[in-house]
């Protein structure tokens, strides 16, 4: 397996390096940032190089690439960096945890699928998709490109999650619903019908603090 250069030098990049190294036996040799943001030359005990110089130092014919940045601007930034690395000649690799239950081979490039995800048969996952830990992706669901799904999300059978969507922690999407492109579903959101493109769907209200102190409750 070829060594990897990771675009990114933040928490997600550090997490990705850890998983590649400890559970996939992959060697991350450097991190990459845009030259204008190059401040430190070392990150996670690896060199940090400018994007404008990476191909000269780590030739794409000998290295794979992985883009490990957040859902900023509804995943547009991550998609732009993936396109940059691909255009530079790199093959974009994916990470699929050996502790995920994956019953499909239809997983795209530059995907990050962490432990305890259950991905049922006949699911298709596009390019540049992040599935953080502990999600359920039901049968015949389709996750389009540049989606970020956080943790403990239920995507029921036959659902389509449109490109560049973000699904927050503990959200639930009913079966055969279509989530339009660039939809944001907040933590705990319940989606029972099709969404509109660029829509923001939040749970009715966060937990409210009661006046009584926890130590004064007669029972829990």
The pLDDT tens digits for 203-217 are: 987 778 888 887 888
Q: What are φ and ψ of residue 55, in 5° steps? A: -65, -30
Q: What pLDDT, on a 0 to 100 scale, did the predictor assign at position 65?
A: 99
* Torsion 171-175-177-178 (CA) sign: positive
Span 151-193, pLDDT tens digits: 999 999 999 999 999 999 999 999 999 999 999 999 999 999 9
Tokens of 203: 């749970």
Parallel/antiparallel/unpaired status of strands 136-137 and 154-155: parallel
Nearest by Cα to 142 from 159, 118, 163, 121: 159
Residue 204 has what pLDDT? 85
Q: What are the residue boundaries of the structural domains of the chain, listed by start?
A: 4-92, 94-199
Given strand 101-102, what is the order of strands in its sheet? Answer: 101-102, 118-119, 136-137, 154-155, 172-173, 190-191
Q: 4-92 and 94-199 share one CATH topology?
A: no
Architecture in CATH for domain 94-199? 3 Solenoid (2.160)
Contact 121, 102 (CB under 8 A): no
What pTM was estimated for this model as a whole?
Answer: 0.95
The CATH class that applies to domain 4-92 reads: alpha beta
pLDDT at 37 over 80: yes
Please enumerate in sequence order all residues whose Cβ is within 8 A of that of 193, keeping only pairs 6 or more positions apart, or say none.
174, 177
């Amino acid at each position: 397996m070829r060594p990897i250069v990771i675009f990114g030098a933040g928490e997600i990049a550090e997490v990705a390096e850890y998983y590649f190294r400890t559970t996939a036996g992959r060697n991350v040799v450097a991190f990459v940032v845009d030259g204008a943001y190059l401040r430190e030359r070392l990150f996670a005990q690896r060199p940090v190089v400018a994007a404008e110089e990476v191909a000269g130092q780590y030739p794409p014919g000998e290295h794979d690439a992985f883009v490990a940045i957040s859902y900023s601007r509804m995943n547009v930034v991550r998609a732009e960096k993936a396109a940059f690395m691909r255009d530079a000649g790199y093959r974009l690799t994916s990470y699929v945890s050996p502790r995920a239950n994956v019953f499909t081979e239809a997983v795209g490039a530059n995907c990050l699928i962490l432990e305890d995800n259950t991905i049922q048969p006949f699911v298709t996952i596009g390019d540049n998709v992040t599935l953080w830990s502990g999600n359920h992706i039901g049968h015949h669901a389709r996750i389009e490109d540049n989606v970020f799904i956080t943790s403990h999300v239920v995507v029921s059978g036959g659902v389509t999650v449109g490109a560049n969507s973000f699904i927050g922690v503990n959200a639930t999407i009913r079966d055969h619903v279509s989530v339009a492109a660039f939809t944001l579903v907040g933590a705990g959101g319940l989606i029972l019908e099709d969404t509109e493109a660029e829509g923001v769907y939040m749970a009715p209200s966060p937990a409210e603090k009661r006046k009584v102190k926890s130590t004064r409750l007669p029972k829990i």
